[in-house]
Structures are given as C-alpha cells and as structure tokens.
Amino acid sequence: MQDGSIFCERCGNRVMPPQNSVPLQQGQAVNPFSQPQQNVQQFGQQQPVQYQQPMNGYPPPQYQQPYQDPYYQDSGTFVSAAGSDKKSNTAIIIALTALTAIILTLCVVLLLIMTKDSDESDKGGGGSKRTSRSVSENISPGSNGEEEVQPTEKEKLIEAETLPAEPDNSYEGIAKRTSERKKVNINYVSSDVSDYPNVKVYFTVEDEQGDTVDLYSPNVAVKESVTGGAELEREVKSVEQLKGREGVSFDIVADKSGSMRNDMDSMQRVMGQFVDALDYKSGDRAELIAFDSFVMYMCTYTSDTALLKNGINNMEPYGETALYDALYEGVTNAGAQRGARCVIGFTDGSDNQSSHTSQEVIDLANFYSVPIFIIGTGGSYDYTNITSATGGQYWSIDSINDMSQVLDQIYSQEKDMYCMEYVSDGSADKFASRDLELAVEDDNYGAITRMTFTPTETLKKQAHASRYEVVKADLTWEEANAECIKRGGHLITITSDDEMAKASKLAQDAGLKYVWMGGYTSIRGSSAFGHWITGENFNYQKWYPGEPSRNDKDGEPEMYLMLWHVTDDWTWNDQRNDVFHIPGLTYFSGSTGYICEYED
C-alpha cells in the first residue's frame, strides 16, 4: 500500500504497521523478526508516552488519549473491529456451506449407485429379499406377482382369538345341536351308486304338519354300516336341493282306453303344458307310456319337447284298461335311470286288463325305490294302496282340468328333494344293503334319522362302435325292446330311404329275414296308422301291400312293427308280440332278430 498499511494474513483486514516501524518500500517484504527502530514518528500519529518498569515487576497503569487513525478510514467509511469480525464470520459460513453441498452431492451419488446395484440384483434373482416389515416376518409371492406379507405367529394368534370359533360339524357336533332346533322329518326316497364309491341319497324334509321345509346352508353328517358291519362316519361331499341344480326323470303313464274318448283332448293339452314346464337345463327328462288293452311307448326318455308332444298327440282312445301293466313298465324304466326318478300315472277307471297285479307293482317300485303318484277322475278306483306303499300320493279329481294343478304339486315335491352325496367304502359291494344314521341341521331346523336301503343297478353309459347294432335272437318284440333299452338305445326307427337301405343290408348280412323295429300301429277312426316309440314323425313309410292290418288272419291283434324280407324285397308289416308260438308257423325261428339304434 502507498500509505504503508498491510493486510493481515490471518484475518484478511488492513492494518497499520507499528509506530516505530519504517515504512516498507515497494516490493519490500515485511520481516516479523526485525527490531523496531527508535524515535521514528509516523505522520499523523501521536508518539506514545514512555514509562518506567516498576520495581516489583508489574507495570503501573498507563492512560493514553484516543486518537484518530487515518489507516482505519476506508472510502470515507469507518471500519470498526466488529465489522472486521463480521467479515471473518461470513467467510466461515461460506466455507461451511460449500462443504455441506459437497457432502450432499456425495450422498446422492452413493444412493444412485446403491439403487442401481439393487435393481440389477433383483433382475438376476440374486440377493436378499426386501420386506416392508421386519426381517423376522415371512414373505411369500402373491398371486399377482407381488410380494405378499404373511402375518406373524403372534398376529395369527390374536386373529384366532378375535374370530368366532368354527362349529363342530362332525356327527356328534351336529347331532348335539339338533336338540336346539325345530324338529323336522327326514324321509328316504332313493339312492344312486352309479358313481361308486360316491353314493347319492335323495330325501325329503317335512315339518310335523307334512309341509315341505327348505333348509338354508344345511350341515349334514352321516354314519354308515355296510351289510351289518361297523358303523363309520363318512365324508359328506355335498348337500343340495334339486331345484335348479339337478334333474328328475319323470315316467308318465297315461290312460288312452276307450272311456277316455271325451276327455282325450283335455288330457293331451294338460300333459303338453306339463312337459313344456320341465326344467331341461337342470337335467329334467320324461318318458311317455300309454295304455289301453296293451302298453305302448309313445316317447322314450328325452328332453326334446317336440318328440314328447308328438307322442302325446299320437294317443288314440281304444280298448280296455291295463293300468298295472303300464305302471310296471314305467317303474322298470324309471328304476334304471340315474338320479331322482318317479312315475306319474293317470286313469279314469279301474284296471281290467293287466297281467300284473297291484302288489307286483308295489314290490317292483320298492325294489327300485321309485315313488308312484296316481291321479284318478270321477269314479276311478282308489289306488291309495299303491301310492302310500311306494312313497307317492293319490289324488281323486272331478275334472281333467284339475290335473294341471296336481302335476305342478308333484313337480314341486320332486324338485324340493335334497341330494346328499357321501363317500362309501370302495372295497365293499356297491349293491350291498346299507344302514345310515343321518344328522341334519341349519339355523332353524334339525333332525336325526335312520334309514336302510339297498342300491340297485342303473343304465350304464356305453360306447358303441356304430349307430346300429344287429342281433340275431328269437325274442318277442317286448323282449327285444327291453334288450335295446338295457344296451342304452332303442329299437331302430326308420325315417328315410337311406336308413331303410342300411337296416336292410345289416339284416341281410346277419342272415335275418324278420327284424323287429321300434314302432306300433294304432287305430284312428276305421284305419290303422303307425308311430315310432321315440316320438319321431312317422312320415316315411315302406309297408308291404295290404299292411298294416292291425289284426292277423286268426283275429289276433297285430301292432308291433317288423322289417321283413318277402317276395325278394324288404318291407314293413305289423305283427303280434310273440311270433314263435303261432300254431303251424315255424319259419320265424332261427331267422328273427332286432336292430338297436344308439342316438349318442
């Protein structure tokens, strides 16, 4: 500086050299170890007063007059010691701020490096799993690919203590709770072991007045004893009401005797409405058997309403009343069906033509566990003995129109049944007798009941290599028809030239001349007409000249369709049921058979 002032290397402020110092020349460095020169007074500065060192070594207090120091003037502004300290603090703050920025920058860089390493580790499947909770908790992958946090044992314990206890649905647990419920009656209806060792048991639930009771989410347990063996609790797979879930096989047996002439139209209308209302989506099926002096299949089991209605409309009043024979046929066919099944009969009179008795009908129905419902009009015979003995019911109505309401009641009763499916002993005979002890309860009702039943064989679903199967056998029409039903089909129905050619070739290749077909003839007015047992339209026909006659030369009724080969051609004829015991005729033996047709 020109005035000889210097900057302090420690604080950065401008200061004056000592008063006894010699001003520095330009380019001359300050020597802090040089000795001060004496008696040199700087311009504008007062010489301090000299004092003697006291004898005791302590200097006496000295006082000095304040003075103005031009070296503390800077651009006309007075800079005090406080201002000097402020500048020093500012520098320190700036340094600390810079240091903090550097540290933060380093932290950010370090965090980015760690994040990158973690992502690469996750992609490669290595490294440790990261959790959103403590490392002691188990984490398993969730169903959506995200990590799912599993509760700790302590949390599980707390949750278990807060949740209501699960009910005891063992046999003992349910049986104990039934005492707290309203009493209901459980009635066994039928069983099905077609999917053994799974056993289905069908039963009704009624209150003490006999009205149907609906159970809501029922709990069921069962104990089973097979042929007197140990009673063991079995696994119950399901308990469901049939309504909307499972179908029923209805075998309808209708009176078309001569006395029905005035009521036939009304009965056909009511029956048509009934088959229209069946729940085919849930599996309902129906078969129509008509009777007069004979038993006729108007439509075999189907879920096709068009076929059922064809069968209904093909009924023509004729002859006497063979109700028991028709019921026996209906029970036989219903008993071979899987699942729930029943027979519904209608008549306007008393049986006067059957070869079977009412007791035989009852015994067969109980063997197959098939309930029989009968509707009678006016002065018909009271058939309560049959219905009450088979688990069904009898109604006596005044008008055919009342038949519609009764049919609705029967349908509701069947669909209100319950089906329990349980797992039996797979090593036991599935047709062995069984004793069950059943415990049932829901929030309102409960019951314990015992039931004994013997399962029966049902039709088996069979695989067939061809749609048609020809069999050479000396059987009556009724026997041949029953055989085809057992095989899962029906006697052939020929509805086209192509089918006629196929059937003729099958018969000829098998060495047959006489082949039973699945059809009948009936009388309408003064002429005979044919219809198929499946309810199909009878538009295609190939009759032998002069046929159908409906009666043989000896006056014996002929009504069963036969494909035969006479005069070098295959044509149709109506024949009596048994052609092997006709006096003087032996040519049928060894040349007769039948063709089964399989719709599936």
Residue 292 pLDDT class (50, 70, 90 cuts): very high
Long-range contacts of 63-68 (CB under 8 A, 24+ apart): none
Looking at residue 445, what is its pLDDT?
Answer: 97
For helices 305-313 and 264-277, what crossing angle results, to 10°? 170
Highest-pLDDT range among 65-74, 126-135, 245-254:
245-254
SS3 353: coil
State mean pLDDT over 409-424: 98
Residues in the chain: 600
Provide the pLDDT for residue 527.
83
CATH topology of domain 468-597: Mannose-Binding Protein A; Chain A (3.10.100)
> Alpha-carbon distance 97 to 545, whole Å?
123
367 pLDDT more than 80: yes
| pLDDT tens for each residue of 456-471 | 999 987 888 899 999 9
Q: Considering only 141-150, 246-255, 356-365, which range has the smallest mean pLDDT? A: 141-150
In the CATH hierarchy, which fold is given to the domain comprising 171-242+419-453? Immunoglobulin-like (2.60.40)
Task: Summarize pLDDT for 523-567 with one digit per residue, the tens.
Answer: 887 788 999 999 999 999 999 999 999 888 888 899 999 999 998
Per residue in 479-488, pLDDT tens? 999 999 999 9
DSSP string, 382-435: --HHHHHHTT-EEEEESSGGGHHHHHHHHHHHHHT-EEEEEE--TTS-TTS-EE
Nearest to 452 by CA among 266, 282, 223, 299: 223
pTM: 0.73
Task: Catalogue the E-assigned strands of 454-524.
Answer: 468-472, 490-491, 514-524
With beta carbons less than 8 A apart as the criterion, state whether 345 and 375 touch. Answer: yes
SS3 at position 494: coil
The pLDDT assigned to 13 comes to 55
Query: What is residue 269's DSSP assignment?
Result: H
> Domain spans of the chain?
1-72, 80-123, 171-242+419-453, 248-415, 468-597
Compute the 3-state secondary structure of the chain and give helix, strand, coil in percent, each to the nearest 5.
Answer: 25, 25, 45
215 vs 8: which has the higher pLDDT = 215
What does the mean pLDDT of the chain come to?
Answer: 83
Strands 393-397 and 372-377: parallel
Angular region, 127: left φ>0, alpha ψ -120 to 50, beta rest: left
Q: What is the CA radius of gyration of the chain?
A: 54
Choose between 461 and 139: higher pLDDT. 461
Helix (H) or strand (E) holding 343: strand 340-347
Tell me: the pLDDT tens digits for 338-355? 999 999 999 999 999 999
More confident residue, 157 or 52: 157
Q: Tokens 């503390």 appear where?
A: 72
- According to CATH, what is the number of the domain 248-415? 3.40.50.410
* CA–CA gap between residue 419 and residue 431 (Å, rounded): 19
Q: What is the pLDDT of residues 12-71, one digit of tens each?
A: 555 555 544 444 444 444 444 444 444 434 434 444 444 444 444 444 444 444 444 443
Strand-pair partners of 185: 206
pLDDT, residue 22, reads 44
pLDDT at 56: 44
